[in-house]
Chain A
Amino acid sequence: MPSPKRIGQIEFGLLSPKEIREMSVRKIIWADTYDDDGFPYPQGLMDLNLGVIDPGLRCKTCDQKASECPGHFGHIELAKPVIHVGYTRLIRKLLRVTCRSCGRVLLSPDEIEKVVGTEDDQTGELLSEKDVKKERICPHCGDQQLKINFEKPTTFSEVMVEEGKKVEHKLTPADIRARMEKIPNEDLIPLGINPDVARPEWTILTVLPVPPVTMRPSIILENGQRSEDDLTHKLVDIIRINQRFKENQDAGAPQLIIEDLWELLQYHVTTYLDNEVAGCPPARHRSGRPLKTLSQRLKGKDGRFRGSLSGKRVNFSSRTVISPDPNLSVSQVGVPRAVANEMTIPVRVTTHNIEELKQIVRNGPLRPDVNAPCGANYVIRPDNRRLRLADGNLDTVADLIEPGYTVERQLRDGDVVLFNRQPSLHRMSIMAHRVKVMEGRTFRLNPAVCPPYNADFDGDEMNMHVPQTEEARAEATILLSVHENILSPRFGGPIIGGIHDHVSGIFMLTHGTRWFTKEEALYLLRYARVEHMPPPGKVDDGIQYWSNKQIFSMILPDQLNMVFHASSCQNCDTCKKEMCERDAYVRIIDGILESGTIDKKAIGAFDGQIVNRIIRHYSMRRAADFIDDLTKISIRAIMFDGFSFGIDDEDLSKTEYGQIDEVLKSAASDVTRRIKIYEDGQLEPMPGRTVEETLEMQIMQVLGKARDQTGQIAGRHLGLGNSAVVMAVSGARGSMLNLTQMAGCIGQQSVRGERIVRGYDDRTLPHFRKGDRGSDAHGFIAHSYKGGLNPTEFFFHAIGGREGLVDTAVRTSQSGYLQRRMINALQDLKVAYDGTVRSTGGRIIQFQYGEDSTDPTKSAFGDPVDVKGIVESILKEEV
């Protein structure tokens, strides 16, 4: 096989009229496309020399079929030159800086040197319009210069002074072209123009290239009608006007008509190049839709550059809804059988695998169930012919196979695939998983890998890609595997770990002390890869019991030593350590959980301390195994007790309701009192604030405090027996604030950090008096979700909720753009072999990456070495 060719560089330049004619295969003179038989007109826009799009026809130039012919350019000879809209600014600049009679730059060599510098010492600056004073005299021929006016889009004129009056004299493109031709090559270089590839007169078009038909294919509608591409439409317009122009010119039509036609031709060429030019009405389709012409094809998000060239489409990919399966490993993905049967991996036949592949071919394309061996969909012969496998030809094809053939075999358990969820905001948005073929129609994944993908199961869809080459699979397994990506490069901590029910489950399992019989213990540990049970923690009446902490310890690595505070820790002034009544002092010595509750801080995504420590002291692989065990054990634990939440879990007792009422009543009266002080003009403003602002701040404070108090009252009643409290304390989901709002009082609704003030004249709703500053009138909700809101409260709640929605919508677009800009600015940076950070062009950005060459991914939350962890694990005590 020849080695793949590399493109070394791409050079940009203008096409000269000569080049355009040379590359053209046909001069186009007819505006019509197809004749009545549907056959392209010779020398028409669909000329067969320009390439073919209809299957069956052959290109007259290269004699290839539609699929192989790349297309060929034609050309149109314009009756008179026209300006290229993209270069109007350049033309204006050149007209202003060069002499109108001799074409030299209006500066003496010394003046040029001042701006550009000498040959050895260049300033990097180029001559600009500002360097030439207006209406000066040419230093070379002494001719008086005139002011050049430019009117968008393409009109240039000279301002002449005749009989004391200013007269604008229009410059035709032909005039401009003549002036451009006069500019000598040497004078173009200081202007930043390379005359070898871009003579300025080439910006005035005399010949127009006609793009090949492959660039502007016509589509055949359902009713058999042909619908032409926008570009073809535009070219038809140009040819028509050009034809008419020529006829009129030959017939010696009056100057006025010629000028009109010239302008019309200019308009059509302008819109053909760019249909969004300022000061030029866009050319429209019959339906009124503006045409998509050349510039529009390149521009913008769905344009050629961003849409087609930077974002490419691929085969061997699939997409479906995701759903959770805690029994899978984090590094696995459940693939529906329908997907696995469709997606293939090419395997080359060798003497070593020929028998196996023959069997695979015999299995055929229809896998009956998930446990059946995989089949194959295609066989590729050495001459690159594809044979589709179907029920009838399995055995024949299988007998045909010999080394050199390639079998496209279906996915089977253990294959490496890439799994992705958009938006792909960081590199963990694409990770490699191992396939597990399953029944059903959704991709299945362990909920512990949701955080890196930012996935949930409310209808999210994800994509799967099957790497096709050995190199791709190697990179996928070594670099992209889930277990290689547990640590986030953002902060150097784990971002895969238990979420939601994992945290609640492990919290309920490990909190306090509980004892389990052998059957119960085995139920909990059934799916974890624990091989040996430790001796029972106690024996009562001849029955063996294992403690909850013992059960958790079984999934810990043997030599693990660590001490930390759980997320339920209240940060008391003096830590009671093992005697903590919340059991928040976690102590793991030699892989045994001695005290403490396992919760979010220990195993959660983003802050899982145990996961983090296992990665550093054992391996990524071991950490992934730990997460697998953990998800299984915690789901079993939550199933052991059951975990639910109902409306009656938000109930409080009569005393609490009384206390809450009292708190709210006193807060309301406190607010009225403060309003009274304000109305009496007795309120002392805070420095830098007006009296009104001070009052508002005070009211917000009072009401905020009142809500917190109701929360405390509710919290007193609700203990760990309440599921919502378990979730809040363990860090699984929600907070005590959510519970407060459900059981106590929802509190103040706000818009832009202030109480709700907008609405009617001097009041928020017609339910209140004008000028009422009371708590109810400005969005304080004294009821709880359980108790129910009254209509005004409900409305205020909707106002507050809307702000959040708007906020999110605005934020996503803004942060998306910020990220696009940052990636564009930084994408070329890499660490060189000498430890410096350089751009791919070789420029040094940093002499040492991050000033200490520490990889943030491998760092311990930014520190080069996790000293605390090492000391802790060797001394086996808290440090």
Chain B
Amino acid sequence: MAVAEKYEKKIESADLPKKTKDQLHTFLDGKEINDTQFKQILDRVLKEYLSTRIEACEAVGVIAAQSIGEPGTQMTMRTFHYAGVAEINVTLGLPRLIEIMDARKEPSTPTMTVYLEPEYCNDRDRAREVSWQIEAAPLHEFGDITTDMENMQVIVHLNTKVCDKRKISPAVIMETAPKKIRDRRHYRDFEHEIKDETATIFFSPKNKESYQNLFQLAEHVKYVIVQGIDDILRVVVRKETGEYILYTEGSNIKDVFDVVGVDTTRTRTNNISEIASVLGIEAARNAIIHEAVSTLNEQGILVDVRHIMLVADMMCMEGEVKQIGRHGIAGEKESVLSRAAFEVTVNHLLDAAVANEVDELSGVTENVIVGQPIQLGTGDVKLIAVRQQDN
């Protein structure tokens, strides 16, 4: 470090956040400064740090909502955009922001960014290997499928070369294919027979009366997923910042984490509710922040993270991801008047009457409704100057 040691110590012992200390280091690096200058700098930094503390009673919630909502009008509406990877569509702009705040179970375009472990991330072929374990591959990609109408059967002849290339043994395919047809595709009216020597599977419908059954079976056989993860329709391998990264269409973080070679510490998905159920609520909170920030940044809109943090904390407060709106935070408020003033007015009032609810009038809307000062900002200060009484 080029910052002189005596200054170094003073910076470290100062009551400042890490970011500010780091900035002091970088900006003073290699500069010739004398003691008075350093003292001046440090004093001004400390003074400014104290002056940027948030004040009590500040209505931070409204400010956060306005800061995110106000630039909403500047965002594009176009749902589809090509984010980084030309091959994979991702919802961006206002629709994506609404999606995040709605806490949807499934985003309209689920995608994952899969990072690989060091042994895999530098080699295209090895990266490809991992991608095969992830990308859902239907049976017809592994061999020839013929429909034998005479004997009422569907014959699958596996191509061992393809299997070798895709690092999957024919035996595994032969075992999983019929099982998957039964379990995942819910089609059970067939029998199958495996011939290991020729790597061939014969499927025949239980009901041999109609050709329709045969053709239906053929469809199932053709498209049954025998390798990879069912939800992940497509995987694109790209080299970025010196390593190979997989981008996927579709998301299933739980199964992807089980694949060998996946760096579970960096891999991420844009499906927030999936993160909440697999990794927990804190991870979901971070995911909301990350998704919202990157949506806004992509549109070139500057919004302080602190606002987004507050929204994310509000959404995750109860231990599960709650929607911003009628079915989430706004609909579960304590105050009857506040809920009635938001949406579905009449029902809230009727239900409140039966349950004998009591509105304590602590929130903003309630006090606006009854015409009283609200408990925020200057309205929250209870200090009163008592004038000396004249005798």
Contact = CB atoms under 8 A, between A and B. Distances in A.
A789 to B, nearest CB: 25
A194 B361 contact: no
A819 interface: yes
A312 B367 CA distance: 13
Interface stretch (A257-265, A361-369, A670-678, A832-840): A832-840
Contacts of B60: 829-831, 837, 849
B41 A821 contact: no
Judged by DSSP, the binding face of B is: helix
B118 interface: no
B328 A811 contact: no
Contact of B302 (A13, A491, A752): A491
A139 interface: no
Interface stretch (B184-192, B258-266, B349-357): B349-357
A868 B24 CA distance: 8
Interface string B16-46: 1101100110011001010001001100110
B40 A298 contact: no
Contacts of B56: 831-833, 835
A815 B87 contact: no
A86 B346 contact: yes
B342 interface: yes
Interface string B306-320: 110111011001000
Interface stretch (A234-242, A684-692, A766-774): A684-692
| Number of chain B interface residues as a range | 35 or more
Contact of A489 (B67, B311, B336, B360): B67
A295 B52 CA distance: 49
B72 interface: yes
A832 B54 CA distance: 10
A824 B332 CA distance: 11
B350 A822 contact: no
Interface in B40-72: 40-41, 44-45, 48-49, 51-72
Given A427-B63, A853-B54, A829 B314 contact: yes
Contacts of A812: 73
A858 B369 CA distance: 32
B304 A490 contact: yes
A310 B78 contact: no
A274 B349 CA distance: 13
B52 A858 contact: yes
Interface in A592-618: 616
Contacts of B354: 14, 87, 90, 192-194, 198, 203
A87 B355 CA distance: 12
Interface string A13-46: 1100000000000000000000000000000000
Residue of A194, A839, A858, A871 with most chain B CB atoms under a 10 A cut-off: A871
B317 A845 contact: yes
Nearest to A845: B313
A865 interface: yes
Contacts of B31: 871, 875, 879
Interface string A826-862: 1111111101010111010110011111111111011
Given A9-B360, A867-B45, 13 more contacts: A193-B355, A305-B337, A491-B304, A819-B66, A828-B362, A829-B61, A830-B60, A830-B380, A841-B363, A855-B53, A857-B63, A866-B48, A871-B41
Interface of A: 6-14, 86-87, 90, 192-194, 196-198, 203, 274, 295, 298-300, 303, 305-306, 309-310, 312, 425-427, 475, 479, 489-493, 616, 686-689, 697, 752-753, 807, 810-812, 814-816, 818-819, 821-833, 835, 837, 839-841, 843, 845-846, 849-859, 861-868, 870-871, 874-875, 879
Interface of B: 16-17, 19-20, 23-24, 27-28, 31, 33, 37, 40-41, 44-45, 48-49, 51-73, 75-78, 80-81, 86-88, 94-95, 97-98, 101, 234, 236, 302-307, 309-311, 313-314, 317, 324-325, 328-330, 334, 336-338, 340-342, 345-347, 349-350, 352-365, 368-372, 375-378, 380
Which 6 pairs across A and B sit closest by C-beta, in order of nearness? A819-B69, A829-B61, A815-B72, A850-B306, A826-B61, A194-B356
